[in-house]
Chain A
């Protein structure tokens, strides 16, 4: 079966309108792939990809909780925070609607990608079981897009920018400016990486006999009105959170190895 393009202009307009309606639902969770949307082979494929990452998270958890007994409760509470954040609708000005942030950028920054993947897996499982956001059959795919890609994108962007910003004026004078920029970009890329991966997963799952690339582009375009600005808003939110922690509890950022002790002295 070939993908048929009857009128490109119409398709673009339709995709924008359909994405608008998709996010118009007050509590739309478009970053989660819905239960049952992926056929068996793709659901299994993404689950197999996700398993080693979750196992890595559990390995790290075991190691860290052996040193510090409060680590397991902390990871549990962080999972509750990610659950709440990824249920909160936030405004998307260009679409005039709301979507939800991922929260994996901030967890990636604070606890590292391995634990952040575990946190996302836990939050996603509770949402799948009780809220019909995501699903058991799409749990693996959602872990890969939100947990693996979101956490790694957030963590690596933050680390890279934290090593560069002290060299660039005006951030080389100290203060929270460099932290805010790094946090913003980490949130932005965590969100966009999730959205990109979700598009890949959806296109491969629902393409049927059609070609992959045309459908992938259509899904990517359909996400644009909400996800591009949402990424910017998630960036702003992540920057706000990092700066708040820096001002209120810099010792926590030092404990989580986000800051060095000398940087935490305000």
Chain B
């Protein structure tokens, strides 16, 4: 029954936190590339993947992205964590479109009075959407795997994303880990007091846990502000400064985009 699932409530989240590990984002070919260039190329390729009518281009992007992931030595566990959900969603979409959408029947079988019909055009539609999902996810995965958070924030700032928005992003990113640790402490204390024995107590404990996190957020925001004001905070946070663009990076990324554009056009 679901009590077991309530009990395992926080552990999958903690496992996923390995994705945030910044160690594998350093010392490889892509880590030396300007984050603005990586972000720009990623957004352009994403637009191409979304607007492409077919499956070849997204699959090509997927293959290139997977090769990059291998080249920059992304740990297999992190890689699987990142791709497990999109792969599953893509499979469900293919199945849904194959069985429920389309006119051109590929086969029709009757099992216990139920007619199951597979459609060729539905399958093609499903494959196209699945290709788009995997292609797009792989592009963002390479960006996320190869760029530290602070560099992405600086790139967003260069793209004229409002500074307040970036500041909120930075506060949120920093305190996810702090609040998660608090959540683990509360969760273990609740578990030791049989807080998750049964649905009713489980839900009550879950409500208390999340309520405590909100309380912690309120209290911490006061303490953080006091500490920051003592260090000269005036309502604005400094962001990373950009180095000038390197000509080699611009030429290389323009060549990549041009090559992708040719394949996209074909």
The answer to whether B179 and A38 have CB atoms under 8 Å apart is no
Residues of the A chain whose Cβ atoms lie less than 8 Å from the Cβ of B125? 206, 208
Closest to A232 in B: B203
CA distance in complex: A72, B229 (Å)? 13
Bound: A81/B220 CA distance, A? 12
* CB nearest neighbor in A for B51: A40
Residues of B within 8 A of A35 (CB): 86, 133, 136-137, 140
Q: Which of A2, A66, A81, A135 contacts B217 (CB 8 A)?
A: A81
Question: Do B5 and A97 touch (CB < 8 A)?
Answer: yes
Least CB separation from B19: chain A residue: A130
Question: Is B85 interfacial (CB 8 A cutoff)?
Answer: yes
Kindly state the separation between the CA atoms of A29 and B225 in the bound complex, as whole angstroms: 33
Given A58-B165, A73-B221, A123-B172, decide whether A249 and B137 contact each other with a Cβ distance below 8 A: no
A27, A74, A97, A132: residue with the most chain B Cβ atoms closer than 10 Å: A132
Cβ B169 vs Cβ A126 within 8 A: yes
Give residues of chain B (144-172) contacting chain A, Cβ–Cβ below 8 Å.
Answer: 144, 149, 152, 162, 164-165, 167-172
Contact status B211-A241, CB under 8 Å = yes
Main secondary structure of the interface of B (DSSP, over half): helix
* Residue of B whose beta carbon sits closest to that of A219: B96
Of the listed stretches B8-16, B68-76, B253-261, chain A binds: B8-16
Kindly name the residue among A72, A131, A237, A243 whose own CB sees the greatest number of chain B CB atoms within 10 A. Answer: A72
- A interface: dominant SS: helix
A91 touches B199 (CB 8 A): yes
CA distance A18 to B100 in the complex (A): 13
**Contact present for B221 and A39 (CB under 8 Å):** no
List chain A residues, Cβ under 8 A from B216.
77
Within 8 Å by CB of A72, from B162, B171, B180, B215, lies B171
With a cutoff of 8 Å between Cβ atoms, the chain B residues found around residue A58 in the complex are: 162, 164-165
- Count of residues in A whose CB is under 8 Å from the partner chain: 95
B100–A11 CB distance below 8 A? yes
A25→B165 contact, CB < 8 A: no
B85 partner residues in chain A, CB cutoff 8 A: 25, 27-29, 34, 132-133
Distance between Cα atoms of A25 and B88 in the complex (Å): 9
Closest A residue to B2 by beta carbon equals: A91
**Which residues of A have CB within 8 Å of B171?**
72-73, 75-77, 79-80
Interface residues on chain B, number (Cβ under 8 Å): 102
- Provide the bound-state CA to CA distance between A222 and B96, in Å: 11
Give Cα A131–Cα B21 distance, bound, in whole angstroms: 12
CB-defined interface of A228-251 with B at 8 Å, one 1/0 digit per residue?
A: 000001001101111111001100
Determine if B206 and A72 form an interchain contact, defined as CB atoms under 8 angstroms apart. Answer: no
Residues of A near B108 (CB, < 8 A) are: 6
Known contacts A28-B85, A69-B233, A206-B97, A77 near B179 by CB under 8 Å: yes
A161 at the binding interface (Cβ < 8 Å): no
A37 touches B93 (CB 8 A): yes
**Residues of chain A within 8 A of B152, CB atoms compared:** 129
- Taking the complex as formed, is A87 at the interface, i.e. its CB lies under 8 A from any CB of chain B? yes
**Which of A34, A36, A54, A121 has the most B CB atoms < 10 Å from its CB?**
A36
Q: Which partner residue on chain B sits nearest A205 by CB separation?
A: B129
In the complex, how many angstroms separate the beta carbon of A138 from the nearest chain B beta carbon? Answer: 9
B214 and A206 contact, CB distance less than 8 A: no
Q: Is the CB of B101 within 8 A of A81?
A: no
B204 within 8 A of A: yes
A35-B133, A43-B50, A65-B235 known; A22 vs B88 contact (CB < 8 Å): yes
Docked complex Cα distance between A175 and B250 (Å):
64
| Bound: A27/B213 CA distance, A | 20
Binds A, one of B26-34, B110-118, B238-246: B110-118
> Is the beta-carbon distance between A83 and B172 smaller than 8 angstroms?
yes
What residues of B have a CB within 8 angstroms of the CB of A210 in the complex? 101
Contact of A98 among B5, B89, B121 (CB under 8 A): B5
- State whether the Cβ of A163 lies closer than 8 Å to any Cβ in chain B: no
**Contact (A91, B3) CB under 8 Å given A76-B168, A132-B83, A215-B101:** yes
Q: Which residues of A contact B42 (CB under 8 A)?
A: 136
CB neighbours of A2 from chain B (8 A): 103
With a CB–CB cut-off of 8 A, which chain A residues contact B89?
22, 34, 37
Contact A6 B115 (CB under 8 A): yes
Q: When the two chains form their complex, are residues A72 and B168 in contact, meaning their CB atoms are under 8 A apart?
A: yes
**Chain A positions within 8 Å of B211 at CB level:** 240-245, 248
CB distance A122 to B165 under 8 Å? yes
A129 touches B143 (CB 8 A): yes
Can you offer 26 A-B residue contacts whose CB atoms are under 8 A?
Answer: A7-B115, A13-B114, A18-B95, A21-B92, A34-B85, A36-B58, A36-B134, A39-B132, A69-B229, A69-B235, A72-B164, A72-B171, A76-B170, A80-B178, A84-B179, A84-B183, A84-B213, A89-B5, A89-B12, A96-B2, A118-B165, A129-B144, A137-B50, A240-B207, A240-B210, A241-B214
- With A4-B119, A131-B19 known, 5 other A-B pairs at CB within 8 A are A27-B85, A77-B221, A89-B12, A240-B208, A244-B212
